[in-house]
Structure 1
């Protein structure tokens, strides 16, 4: 019997067993323990914590973080403004994926025609592209926004 080949096969089997056990105990086990809970929220939930918008936004604008950390990638928020509210020109380092949850919102991106969002409308806002918006006169506007990058907003001084 060739003991070198025999012991090499035993070493390989032990290594594979160790790797599988490590995955089971440290990989999969930790992932299972760290799994997030699912969630369903509406913009009217009483437990939402609404906070202020950036200081360049007029009074009445609020944001509620739904998921994630605003200082890190992939954060989801509700953005709420009163009826007749004008959102000043601004831009973000992140692309925005938005769905209008309440109200009617007129949105204008730099160099583009105004677009009207109605409840259920989806919109995509490109990275660093400045935009303005105005909420309609009937109801407050609430947008669900998914930011790919950390949440930020920078005002644009219009001429």
Structure 2
């Protein structure tokens, strides 16, 4: 591993864990910063993320480590846009957990093995944005002023 830098983000979604899980894991789910996610969700299987980020096309890869539906998705993640070599020590370790709470689900993402504190801060902001999109996907439009 390259370092101990970590990014953490959480949000509340007003749906039960099984419904949030279904949204998170849908192959065409666009909540994750616009990425299309492909995997069979079996430990040891590949997981890919493809899309556009700040005008750049990306194709990120990783491997599923653990799945406990509808509570945990644990996987590795490598992005060529990060500028690091495609080597195991440069892969992020990402855990997405879902916990039932009053009125819905607490969704938490913890991304470890980030190379710099600056990248960890940036990753945390990206995860907050992604989770906010997930949390507000069914929100009614704001009233007009």
TM-score, normalization: structure 2?
A: 0.30
Greater gyration radius: 1
TM-score (norm 1): 0.28
Higher relative contact order (CA 8 A, sep 6+): 2
